[in-house]
Structure 1
Amino acid sequence: MTNLNKLFRNRLGIPYDEVITFENLNAFLEKTAKTIPFENLCIIENRTNEITRENLIKKIIEQNEGGLCYELNSLFYFFLIENGFDAHLIRGLRYNYNSQTWSTLGKTHVANMIKHKEQFYIVDIGFGGNSPLKLVPLNGETVTSNNGEFKVENIDSEHGDSIFYIKLKHKDKEWKIGYAFDSKKVIKDLAELNEVQKVNTEHPESNFNKKPVITRFTDKGNITLTDTSFTEWVDGELTKKQIDKKLFQEIANRYFGL
């Protein structure tokens, strides 16, 4: 077993001798989403590093930080490969449901796609509060998890051949587009991830370079922290309170280990 495999299992509390299979992978996805936060602090604090296997291990595992999609899903990609899965990274174009427009930043979402018995599945632990927490097949089948309903439909467009849809539990009454992607175009070089990081870090329209945001799933919902508020979803009930800079750091440490 490699160092990454041991360290990742240790952070999640997974025994070294537990075999990860297609049948029990969903449990590991949910465990990861409840353990490692989705957050952008390295961008806000101007301390981003090149996306490499070693740097991801150091940041997310050794330093107990979280990350954005291109960090979380890339680290999980290495973990999947080391546990025998046929995995690839893909890039997606996000959709803004409020403005009903596609992102102008390009394909800045990064997710995993695995192949099992001739079927393909999206494995995405880096979509923040929209993460499916389960494998989502590319055949249109609806998957239901603790976070809602998810599906991928094969729809050809200028953005690819597939669209990932979400309908969040307690929040959405109808399906929303999450992102479009091309299932036949996989990431071949980590340099692409550094391009994605550069856009998220420097582009004036990026959602991640203006204020801190941290979110993590819990056994009963999820929690989200920004520089001005702390939001908790517990069994469908929303609680939101305003905070200051001092409280931000206290909550980041207490609830997210940051």
Structure 2
Amino acid sequence: MLNMKNYLKRISASHYTTCSLQNLEELQSLHMQHIPFENLDVIRKVPIYLNLDTIYDKLVSRNRGGYCYELNGLFHWLLTELGYEASLVSATVRRMNGVWAKKDTHAAIIVQLDKPYLVDVGFGDSTILPIPLSGLERTDVSGAYKIEKQENDFYDLIQKRNDVERILYRFTTQPKKLIDFHEGCVFNQVAKESSFTHTDIITVATPLGRKTISDAQFIITENGVQQKKDLSSDEKDQILRSTFGIQI
């Protein structure tokens, strides 16, 4: 059963219950610091269903993380419960090599305040701030971000690091329901073309950057500087528990 108070407690955000841009910023940042992006169920062939009760049990009751449909699906529910005007939207990811992933298989959120903002707690290494669709650039510890409008009401989320810009994904503002992502959720669980079916990915934001497990490597990023360590199986399990609060 969904419980807003327990969800807010899970992300240490019990005080941010009124609707404002400042509180939305805190909710997004705290969510990304407390609930990791992770694909452990995908790799272990544990089915993921687009059911809010199931997602809540995993993320809140069992102290797990998830990928975009789970993270943004449940966060969208929380925002609407708090009174925000929020809608799920679909996006197409542009991979590091410049190739576009399967169309409309990423889920994000648009929140309408004084103007519309893109909110995303389910993209891993990305902004921890709401980004306005107006084109205004916003900067956090992970880089600078802005949104550029394209033709036919498409928008690009652009990240700038070390003076290099790249498109993270392209989205529209047409509202979606969580069930609309069923095809994408299945694809990203089973397809060899999916980014999530090959190796473990667990990542969580920190005040100075990010902590990540990628396969058998632990990566700590602080102020743009990375430290990497190869892990044994036992070390990986220990870091999953101590850093991410996850026990498989």
* TM-score (normalizing by structure 1): 0.90
Q: Which amino acid aligns with 1:195?
A: E
Task: After superposition, give the CA deviation of every residue in 1:123-161 in whole Å (9 maximum; x if it has no partner).
Answer: 01111012x11111111111112221111111116xx51
Q: Where does structure 2 lack aligned partners over 5 or more consecutive residues?
A: none
Aligned 8 A contact 2:141 2:223 in 1: no
Task: Give the equivalent residue in structure 2 for 1:252.
Answer: 240
Aligned length: 246
Distance in 2, matches of 1:21 and 1:138, equals: 17
- Match for 2:158 among 137, 151, 165? 165
Aligned to 1:128, the other structure's residue is in SS state: coil
The CA deviation string for residues 28-75 of structure 1, in whole angstroms up to 9 with x for no partner, is 211111111000011111112321110111010001100111110111
Equivalent pair of 1:227/1:244 in contact (CA under 8 Å): no
Judge conservation of contact 2:124–2:203 (CA < 8 Å) in 1: yes
- Per-residue deviation, 1:245: 1.8
Matches within 5 A, 1:197-216: 197-216=185-204
Q: CA deviation at 1:199?
A: 0.8
Aligned residue number for residue 193 of structure 1: 181
Task: State the shift of 1:212 in Å.
Answer: 0.6
The runs of at least 4 consecutive aligned structure 1 residues that moved more than 6 Å come to none
**Secondary structure, in 3 states, of the residue corresponding to 2:94?**
strand
Residue identity over aligned pairs, in percent, reads 28
User: Conserved in 1, the CA contact under 8 Å of 2:13 and 2:30?
Assistant: no
Q: CA deviation at 1:17?
A: 7.8
Structure 1 counterpart of 2:99: 101
RMSD of equivalent CA atoms: 1.7
How many Å separate the matches in 2 of 1:87 and 1:17? 16
Rounded to whole Å, the distance in 1 between the matches of 2:148 and 2:122 is 20
1:155 corresponds to: 150
Deviation per residue, 1:90-111 (Å, 9 max, x gap): 110011232x2222x2221110
Distance 1:241 1:133, change over 3 A: same
* C-alpha contact (below 8 Å) 2:188/2:195 kept by paired residues: yes
* Residue number in structure 1 paired with 2:112: 115
| Cross-structure match for 2:133 | 138
| Equivalent runs, 1:19-98 vs 2, <5 Å | 19-98=18-97
Taking the aligned partners of 1:173 and 1:228, their CA distance within structure 2 comes to 30
- For the 8 Å contact 1:226–1:248, the answer to whether it is kept is no
Q: Hey, what's the Cα distance between the residues in 1 that align with 2:178 and 2:18? A: 27
Tell me which moved more, 5-14 or 79-88: 5-14
Call closer, same or farther: CA 1:97–1:64 in 2, change over 3 Å.
Answer: same
SS in 2 for 1:51: coil
Provide TM-score, normalisation by structure 2.
0.93
Q: Matches of 2:15 and 2:165 in 1, distance apart?
A: 39
Instruction: Work out whether residues 89 and 112 of structure 1, in 8 Å CA contact, stay in contact via their aligned partners in 2.
Output: yes
Which segments of 5 or more consecutive residues in structure 1 lack a partner in the other structure? none
250 and 139 in structure 1: CA distance in 2 versus 1, 3 angstrom threshold: same
Residue 88 of structure 1, CA deviation: 0.4
Partner of 1:237: 225
Q: Equivalents in 1 of 2:13, 2:132: separation in Å? A: 25
Distance 1:17 1:39 in 2: 25
Partner of 2:164: 174
Does the aligned pair in 1 maintain the 2:2–2:56 contact within 8 Å? no
Other structure's SS at 2:159 match: strand
Task: For residues 169-227 of structure 1, give each alpha carbon's deviation from its aligned partner in whole angstroms, at most 9, with x where no partner exists.
Answer: xxx421110111112x221x332222221010111111101111100111221111023
Question: Which residue of 1 is the match for residue 125 of structure 2?
Answer: 129
